[in-house]
Amino acid sequence: MGKKLECKIEGIPCKFKVEAEDMSDDEFFRIAQEHMKRAHNRELSDEEIRRVCKLKENRFTIIELPEVPPRR
What pLDDT score does 71 carry? 55
Taking the C-alpha atoms of residue 66 and residue 69, their distance in angstroms, rounded to an integer, is: 9
List alpha helices for the chain, DSSP H: 25-40, 46-52
Per-residue pLDDT, 37: 92
Query: Are the CB atoms for 2 and 23 separated by under 8 Å?
Result: no
Task: Return the pLDDT at 30.
Answer: 92
The predicted structure's pLDDT at residue 63: 80
How far apart are the C-alpha atoms of 38 and 72, rounded to whole Å?
A: 24
- pLDDT (tens, 9 = 90+) of the chain, 72 residues, equals 688 999 988 888 899 998 988 888 899 899 999 999 999 888 999 998 888 888 888 788 888 776 666 556
